[in-house]
């Protein structure tokens, strides 16, 4: 099994802030409040939920601030900005059929499913293991335990890949083979992790090139 994070690992996530700007504008129009007030409320909600998987429930937060748009609506609207890393696409196509691919994400299932479908990647993934499914989030141990239980395999049979150091390390601590895709070339080193800067390096190690 190969468990892959989505945003930042497979896909660029630069579209997110532009989407938020549209949400704040929508909420401002709906509630007759200024955008700075909306933004402050949104930030307060973030602080209140930051230790819960509900931090990643964007639709809940949009609704509270008075927005009528959903994250799924916005993804469709911004589809042209949601780009797959070329090295990630090559990797997925090479390992598909040789490994069972799993999306392991802090995003909510419906949102991540929409992204995968819009980018044509949905057909490659057997399961989406998400924060709302597990009622937990990376790097909490409960998320990784949920992933292992959902797959019903030994953690040593799972290759876990994430672009965030702490999230890759969390998988390693639960007995998975963990890969940190260090796209920003951070100088940290950790013998518990396989550290790469792009997926081509991992393909070479798996002898699929």
pLDDT attached to residue 207: 63
Closest CA to 102 of 139, 144, 164: 144
For the chain, the straight-line distance linking the first and the last C-alpha, in angstroms and rounded, comes to 19
CA proximity to 5, closest of 188, 152, 144, 173:
144
Burial class (CB in 10 A: 0-12, 13-18, 19+), 207: exposed
Report the pLDDT value the prediction gives residue 7, as an integer from 0 to 100.
Answer: 96
List, in sequence order, the alpha helices (H) in the chain. Answer: 16-31, 35-49, 58-64, 71-77, 86-95, 109-118, 131-134, 141-151, 165-173, 199-206
Topology classification of domain 2-13+82-206? Rossmann fold (3.40.50)
Can you tell me the distance from the alpha carbon of 7 to that of 17, in angstroms, rounded to the nearest whole number?
Answer: 13
What is the reported pLDDT for 209? Answer: 41
Q: What is the pLDDT of residue 21?
A: 95
Q: What is the pLDDT along the chain (209 residues), one digit of tens a residue?
A: 999 999 999 999 888 999 999 999 999 999 999 999 999 999 999 999 999 999 999 999 999 999 999 999 999 999 999 999 999 999 999 999 999 999 999 999 999 999 999 999 999 999 999 999 999 999 999 999 999 999 999 999 999 999 999 999 999 999 999 999 999 999 999 999 999 999 999 998 886 44
Please state, in angstroms and rounded to a whole number, the distance separating the CA atoms of residues 178 and 187.
Answer: 18
Phi, psi of 178, rounded to the nearest 5 degrees: -115, 135
Hey, CA dihedral for 154, 156, 161, 164, is it positive or negative? Answer: positive
Do 209 and 87 form a contact (C-beta atoms < 8 A)?
no
Prediction pTM value:
0.94
Q: What is the pLDDT of residue 58?
A: 97
Report residue 5 as tokens: 């994070």
Q: What is the pLDDT of residue 122?
A: 98
Separation between Cα atoms, residue 138 and residue 156, nearest integer Å = 18
Helix (H, G, I), strand (E, B) or coil at 128: strand
Domain ranges for the chain: 2-13+82-206, 16-79
């Amino acid at each position: 099994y190969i468990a892959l994070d989505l945003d930042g690992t497979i896909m660029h996530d630069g579209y997110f802030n532009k989407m938020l700007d549209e949400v704040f504008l929508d909420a401002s129009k709906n509630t007759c409040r200024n955008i700075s007030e909306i933004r402050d409320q949104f930030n307060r909600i973030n602080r209140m939920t930051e230790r819960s998987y509900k931090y990643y429930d964007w639709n809940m937060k949009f609704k509270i601030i008075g927005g009528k748009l959903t994250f799924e609506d916005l993804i469709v609207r911004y589809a042209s900005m949601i780009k797959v890393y070329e090295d990630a696409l090559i990797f997925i196509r090479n390992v598909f059929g040789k490994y069972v691919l799993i999306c392991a994400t802090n995003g909510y299932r419906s949102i991540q499913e929409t992204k995968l479908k819009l980018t044509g990647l949905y057909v490659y993934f057997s399961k989406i293991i998400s924060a709302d499914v597990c009622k937990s989030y990376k790097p909490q141990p409960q998320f990784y335990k949920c992933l292992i239980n959902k797959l019903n395999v030994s953690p040593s049979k799972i290759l876990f890949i994430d672009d965030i150091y702490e999230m890759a390390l969390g998988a390693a601590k639960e007995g998975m083979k963990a890969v940190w895709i260090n796209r920003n070339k951070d100088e940290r080193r950790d013998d518990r992790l396989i550290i790469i800067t792009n997926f081509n390096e991992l393909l070479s190690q798996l002898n699929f090139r």
